Amino acid sequence: MDREAVFSALVFEPSANVVHEWDEKSKVLTVRPQTGFAAKTPYMVRLTAAATSRWGVHIAEEFQVSFVTKSRPKLVTEKIWPPDGAAGVTLYPRITLSFDAPLDQATASAGIRLLDSQLAPLPKMREAFTSDGGKGTYSFELTSPLQRNSVYRIEIDATVRDIVGVTAGTPANASFTTRTAGYQSGNVVESFDNIGAFWDPEASGSTVGTDNPFTTFTASSDIYKVNAPSGRLDYVFTAEDGGVCRVFDTGKPSIGSNTSQVFAMWVYGDLSNNYLEYWFYSPGSVNQMVDAATINWAGWDLIAVPLSSIGGSGEWQYHSIVVRQNSAGLKSGTVYFDDAMIITPTGIDDPEDDKTGLSLSPNPVTSEGRITFFLQSAGQVALELFASDGSLAAGIYRGSMDAGAHSLPWSPSPAITPGVYTLRLSHRTGTAGAWKHAARRWVIMR
């Protein structure tokens, strides 16, 4: 169609401030209110016969459609993530709220916040507003990771309003608790630094039911967990069910055969409720598919599967990321991936939120090292070194310490073989308080 001719021929009665959006072939026109339609008002939309194609051919007759807008006494919050009462939430969430109308950005940004356990608001970053089908979404991340095993509260002020000025009317909130365990690190087998090593979904084989131009795997330097770039998967499913989007890694990194280890990857979820799978080869290039998670979170989380869950035996190779359509999920989304790794569980958390400033130097250490840390309060302290299989390799210190900075020398004994170890600092106030832990990797060389 001739876009200008259609614009001129499109009439709203009563008049409305609207935005026009065309598809790439100028065949489908979507009209959205820029400032919202009036409530409880009948509208007539007319496309007069003045509308023409690109070749100047007029439409055969005028087209009309009418509708009546509903009354909206207040802005309704339809969904909050994390939801009220949620537990085990990632330390890197993207707080996401959905409403029954597009939001006024200024009042939403000022009136929606995340509070810590002391009810202090946390600084936000990467705020985003979207609207679709007459509804609105507001989401944001935090500038720092959240604390483990802590309660946070999302607050919505009564003054938050939509684009036509309808307010929430009453304040609302939702509280959630973060995960108790920290994130363990491991041997990185795929960093996603070389996106050229990955096939586009349409070329990967097994991909079915996706919209080719809009389903892509690219590098992202904007959103990443460890180092830029990460891998960004945009996908669009064309049917209500049965879609499979596969990204094939031509590097096919080996992940070993130790069934006590786990395969883990940082995944930035999109709340789509579609299914995430990791695919592997067992010897003989036999494909082994493993369910990893339902993508029901937003933000970064470490998604792991035990190697014991992979079929077959012998040396496995990781080769594909797959998003499988859930008929109850969204038909489109964007997921990011970073640092796939093999982890040897130690039973020790690697908290990224401790306030001890635990530091090990030098690292790697060959003969004499030094352990430095800070205690918020006086109490009982234990310093222990654990091997990669979780066994205790050395008890370095156990006793009482005052609050403040501490520095202890330590040299690995000849009985400690070269390798990657975990040093754990345990501390409790007094003699009956709960133990708190901090841990760091320490490489020992000879």
| CATH code (residue 436) | 2.60.40.4070
Tell me, what CATH number does 141's domain have? 2.60.40.1220
Tell me, what CATH number does 336's domain have? 2.60.120.430
Asked if residue 352 belongs to a domain, the reply is no
Higher local confidence (pLDDT), 283 or 349: 283
User: Do residues 198 and 133 both lie within one domain?
Assistant: no
Region of residue 60 (left: phi > 0; alpha: psi -120 to 50; beta: else): alpha
Looking at 76-175, list the stretches that DSSP marks H as alpha helix, in order from N- to C-terminal side: 105-111
Asked if residue 304 belongs to a domain, the reply is yes
Residue in the block written with tokens 């930035």: 268
User: Do residues 160 and 201 both lie within one domain?
Assistant: no
Nearest CA to 400 among 428, 433, 367?
428
Could you report the per-residue pLDDT of 337-384, keeping only the tens digit for each?
A: 999 999 987 655 544 446 788 888 998 898 899 999 999 889 999 999
User: Do residues 201 and 259 both lie within one domain?
Assistant: yes
Tokens matching residue 49: 């016969």
Distance CA 429, CA 379 (A): 4
Strands (E), 116-273: 124-132, 135-142, 151-156, 172-178, 187-190, 216-220, 230-236, 244-248, 254-256, 262-270
Higher local confidence (pLDDT), 347 or 119: 119
Nearest CA to 399 among 381, 385, 374, 384?
381
Residue 359: what pLDDT? 87
Query: Reduced to 3 DSSP states, what percent helix, strand and coil does the chain have, rounded to the nearest 5?
Result: 5, 50, 45
Asked if residue 351 belongs to a domain, the reply is no
Residue in the block written with tokens 């600092």: 425
Residue 53: what pLDDT? 93
pLDDT grade for 430, boundaries at 50, 70 and 90? confident
Report whether pLDDT(391) > 80.
Answer: no
Asked if residue 386 belongs to a domain, the reply is yes
Residue 24: what pLDDT? 79
Report whether pLDDT(258) > 80.
Answer: yes
Residue 134: what pLDDT? 82
User: Do residues 200 and 322 both lie within one domain?
Assistant: yes
User: Do residues 306 and 195 both lie within one domain?
Assistant: yes
User: Do residues 318 and 258 both lie within one domain?
Assistant: yes
Residue in the block written with tokens 């990460």: 230
Distance CA 14, CA 350 (A): 62
Residue 424: what pLDDT? 87
Q: What is the mean pLDDT of the chain?
A: 91
Could you report the per-residue pLDDT of 125-150, keeping only the tens digit for each?
A: 999 999 887 899 999 999 999 998 88
Taking a C-beta distance cutoff of 8 angstroms, is the pair 63, 88 a contact?
Answer: no
Residue 389: what pLDDT? 63
Tokens matching residue 444: 């020992």
Asked if residue 302 belongs to a domain, the reply is yes
Task: Give the end of a domain, one of 14, 42, 68.
Answer: 68
Distance CA 374, CA 406 (A): 6
Asked if residue 420 belongs to a domain, the reply is yes
6-25 average pLDDT score: 89
Longest CA–CA span in the chain (Å) reads 93
Residue 353: what pLDDT? 45
Tokens matching residue 242: 């049965």
Could you report the per-residue pLDDT of 76-116, keeping only the tens digit for each?
A: 999 999 999 998 899 999 999 999 999 999 999 999 999 99
One-letter amino acid for residue 331 of the chain: K
Tokens matching residue 435: 């133990």
Counted domains in the chain? 4
Could you report the per-residue pLDDT of 206-247, keeping only the tens digit for each?
A: 999 999 999 999 999 999 998 899 999 999 999 999 999 999
User: Do residues 335 and 435 both lie within one domain?
Assistant: no
Report whether pLDDT(19) > 70.
Answer: yes
Residues of the chain with pLDDT > 70, as a percent, come to 96
Report whether pLDDT(70) > 80.
Answer: no
Give 430's strand partners.
Answer: 379
Residue in the block written with tokens 């339902």: 294
Task: Give the end of a domain, one of 68, 86, 109.
Answer: 68
User: Do residues 193 and 306 both lie within one domain?
Assistant: yes
User: Do residues 229 and 318 both lie within one domain?
Assistant: yes
Asked if residue 244 belongs to a domain, the reply is yes
Distance CA 150, CA 175 (A): 10
Distance CA 291, CA 312 (A): 15
Residue in the block written with tokens 């920290």: 182
User: Do residues 206 and 330 both lie within one domain?
Assistant: yes
Asked if residue 353 belongs to a domain, the reply is no
Residue 432: what pLDDT? 65
Could you report the per-residue pLDDT of 299-321, keeping only the tens digit for each?
A: 999 999 999 999 988 899 999 99
190-213 average pLDDT score: 94
Task: Give the end of a domain, one of 178, 203, 234.
Answer: 178
Q: Which helix (H) or strand (E) holds 422?
A: strand 419-429
Residues contacting residue 157 through CB under 8 Å, at least 6 positions apart: 107, 110, 111, 112, 168, 171
Report whether pLDDT(279) > 90.
Answer: yes
Please state which of the ranges 157-166, 286-295, 376-385, 418-427 shows the lowest mean pLDDT: 418-427
User: Do residues 23 and 97 both lie within one domain?
Assistant: no
Instruction: Kindly write down the DSSP assignment for every residue of 296-361, as one continuous string.
Output: --EEEEEEEEEGGGSSS-SSEEEEEEEEE--TTS-SEEEEEEEEEEEE---S----SS-SS--EEE
Residue in the block written with tokens 């990194």: 253
User: Do residues 236 and 365 both lie within one domain?
Assistant: no
276-293 average pLDDT score: 93
> Domain range holding 405?
359-444
Taking a C-beta distance cutoff of 8 angstroms, is the pair 59, 52 a contact?
Answer: yes
Tokens matching residue 352: 């990224």
Residue 390: what pLDDT? 67
